[in-house]
Structure 1
Amino acid sequence: MRNETPSSPRRRGGAVLPLAIGVAVLALVGWGLWQASRPVPVPIQGQMEARETDVAAKIPGRVAEVLVREGDRIEAGGLILRLDAPEVQAKLAQATAAQQAAQAVARKAEQGARPQEIEMARMQWQRAETAAELARSSWRRVDNLAREGLVAAQKRDEAEANWKASRDAAIAARAQYDLARQGARAEDRAAADAQARQVAGLVAEVEAAHAEAELRSPVAGEVAKVLARAGELVPQGVAAVTVVDLSDQWVVLNVREDALARFAVGSEFDARLPALADAGRARFKVRYSAPLPDFATWRATRGGAGFDVRTFEVHAHPLQPIAGARPGMSVLVD
């Protein structure tokens, strides 16, 4: 009868190897199921924005010439378009004429009467003085004759009245002469000067309106939109050109409340702009955070229970300018 011998190492190894493979397969399948059950991380998507300025005319007018196109770079104070405003030109001509008249009145009040007028007033005064002296002499003679009874009292009274009238006329002529020498009163000069300044202010106002016929950009940037065309009427206060400042950009993110801790004001995060490939990676700093309207952002965390979360609008500015970044480009935060 044969005796049984123990299993050889080769047989034991052949039994362990399939077991190890089975365990590895089971582990791999389990890891795959665990990975599949994990939620896929969804990046937070935002959009680049930039400071936009709508340039509008302060006066209505017809567009005579448009000097920029969309995409042009423009400096602050650069000429955008010209308006044809004949009404403003007419008002400027009227205001200028009124200013010249007011200035002439003010100069007349300041300088006083002309030398010829002063001389005429002096001569009138001297003639009145001579007439008054003659009337006084005549009254004395008539008065002496009346005392001697040679002339009636009526004649004496008439001579006295004539002398007093001539004397008063001489006094009035002297006052006219003094007035001509002294010129206008201080109040009249002040009133004339005030009127001249008032009209000058009106001229300055019309000149400012006339200057607005040349529409200039108040900021430097890139022309994003040209809404006016040559020949069109541009109303007052309606934007004709939009200028975007590419140096003042930020990203706008809509973040749920349960992820807001990462985007607190003052915090920093990394993001990328897919449109710029590797050059689009940048670091941003949060400057602003505020909740969006309730009707658009309430969202339940669970279907039947739990609490509702809100969505916040977050503004973050890049720490360094992003070359090539444009408004509207997508921004992804992993």
Structure 2
Amino acid sequence: MIWPNPANGRRATQVLTALALAFGLGLGPVAPLPAAAQAQGPAAVKAERVERRPVADTTPILAELVATTRSEVATRTAGIVSEVLFRVGDAVEAGALLVRLDRDLIDIRLRTSQAALEAAQAGVAVSEAQMRLAVQAFERQSQLRGSTAFSRGQFEDLEASVAQAQSELTRAAAQVARAEAELSRAEYDRRHAEIRAPFAGIVVAKAAQPGSYIALGAPVATLLDIGALEIEANIPVKLIGAVREGLAVEAVFQDGPTTEAVVRSLLPVETQTTRTRPVRFAVDLTAIDPARLASGRSVLLKVPVSVPREAVTVPKDALVQARGGWMVFVVEADKAVPRTITLGEPVGARMEVLSGLEPGEIVVVRGNERLRPGQPVTATLVPPVDRAPEAAATAPAPGRG
């Protein structure tokens, strides 16, 4: 093909170069960029340093979300249901009123208990007065001991009267204590005639209906706290050796994001039929739509099958597909240099690199889809994937010093 003029020829060369990178056509060595293209200035890209990280071979284990807080909210007093103030599926706050019992009979018992307490307290006052009179008569007779007016029989009768008065006072005090207890129970029943949510959650079952009788301790609703979900997985015994408390694994939700789950506890229970042990994982679910959270929802865990090993890794965003494999753009002397690499296992949002890169080299992770071999670049380092954010900085070109 004959190009009409040199400018069109340079444009065609650029187009063919871009096609070669995009489809892995392998056109061979590419000529340096024309001076006109270089005059446009270097391309601004984002880059990361190649890192060596601990990785482990993993196997998928099907697990599920489980609720750490699920409760059948029970009544603390018996009675007839007056109002039901919730529906299945309602989200309720801690302390929210769920059910109100009829309080007419409770109020009657409360007034009866108050009257009984007042009567018992009056009985104590009478017994105390009788006790004082008996003691005074006994003391007067005691003072006559040794005189002709002293009567042994009367002295013994007065002594018995004091003992009887003391007994009556003790019985009256016991009646007061009993009346106080009955009054406390009546106040307790009245206070708990309003059944409230013990914690914030979602109502998943309803057991109370207006007009029905509820016995003491009977459930009125089942409440599930979706803010306290964790993952439970039955791990094969042969893999338990690689699982320990604090171990972080990748958790993949169907039609949802990938997040991190951390081993919280290895339960000391083994199922003989399946040769597995239940393991509980703490998981951060803030990135998942609350409407999609449910106890029993399936989640896939990537559990290690071996002790972690060190490996060179790069972000998946750095990868560019080439003919027969993969490549990355390495920043060398402020230029984008293509480098063919051999990949290993995925490591979260990164990939293991078996050959082609060394730790510390800088690879382009944003803007690499528009780069051409040898193109001048201005690379800005960004925080490594799966690491805490750091202040971005302009990447020094290797060999600059």
Using structure 2 for the length normalisation, give the TM-score: 0.47
Bigger mean CA offset, 256-265 vs 245-254: 256-265
Contact 1:63–1:233 (Cα < 8 Å) also in 2: yes
> Deviation at 1:67?
1.2
Please tell me whether the aligned partners of residues 287 and 317 of structure 1 are also in contact (alpha carbons under 8 angstroms). no
Deviation, 1:227, is: 2.3
Deviations 1:66-97 (A, max 9, x none): 11223333333322101226554443343233
- Tell me what 2:212 maps to: 232
Q: What are the equivalent positions in structure 2 for 1:240-279 lying under 5 Å apart?
A: 240-275=220-255, 277-278=256-257
Partner of 2:127: 109
Structure 2 regions of 5+ residues with no counterpart? Answer: 1-57, 134-148, 303-401
For the pair 1:326 / 2:306, whether they are aligned, the reply is no
Instruction: Verify the 8 A CA contact 2:84 2:100 in the aligned structure 1.
Output: yes
> What is the CA–CA distance in structure 2 between the aligned matches of 1:320 and 1:284, rounded to whole Å?
12
Q: Does 1:66 align with 2:34?
A: no
Checking the alignment, whether the CA contact within 8 Å between 1:268 and 1:286 is kept in structure 2 is no
| Higher Cα radius of gyration | 1
How many percent identity over aligned positions?
25
Q: Which residue of 1 aligns with 2:60?
A: 43
> CA 1:101–1:73 in structure 2 vs 1: closer, same or farther (change >3 Å)?
same
Cα displacement (A) at 1:313: 1.6
Q: Tell me the equivalent position of 1:200.
A: 180
More helix by share: 1
Structure 2 CA distance for partners of 1:333 and 1:210, relative to 1, 3 Å: same
How far, CA to CA, are the matches of 1:87 and 1:223 in structure 2? Answer: 29
Query: 1:88-136 CA distances to partner (integer Å, 9 max, x unpaired)?
Result: 44433432332121112123334569xxx9xxxxxxxxxxxxxxxxxxx
Partner SS state of residue 216, structure 2: coil
Specify the SS of the correspondent of 1:228.
coil
Q: 1:320: Cα distance to partner?
A: 6.7
2:78 and 2:178 map into 1 onto residues whose CA distance is 25
Check conservation: 2:89, 2:203, Cα contact below 8 A: yes
Q: Which has the higher strand share?
A: 2
Residues 322/263 of structure 1: CA separation in 2 closer, same or farther (3 Å cut): farther
Q: Counterparts in 2 of 1:82-93, with a 5 A limit?
A: 82-84=100-102, 87-93=105-111
| Contact 1:79/1:216 (<8 A) preserved | yes
TM-score (norm 1): 0.56
Task: Give secondary structure in 1 for the equivalent of 2:229.
Answer: strand
Q: Show structure 1 runs of 5+ residues with no match.
A: 1-40, 118-166, 177-181, 298-309
Cα distance in 2, alignment partners of residues 318 and 238 from structure 1: 34
CA drift at 1:258: 2.3
Could you give the per-residue CA deviations for residues 176-224 of structure 1, whole angstroms, max 9, x where no partner exists? 9xxxxx9x95554444233212211121123212322211222232322
Q: CA 1:270–1:42 in 2, change beyond 3 Å: closer, same or farther?
A: closer
Q: CA–CA distance in 2 between the matches of 1:52 and 1:273?
A: 22
User: Aligned pair count?
Assistant: 228
Equivalent runs, 1:109-128 vs 2, <5 Å: 109-110=127-128
1:288 equivalent in alignment to 2:266: yes
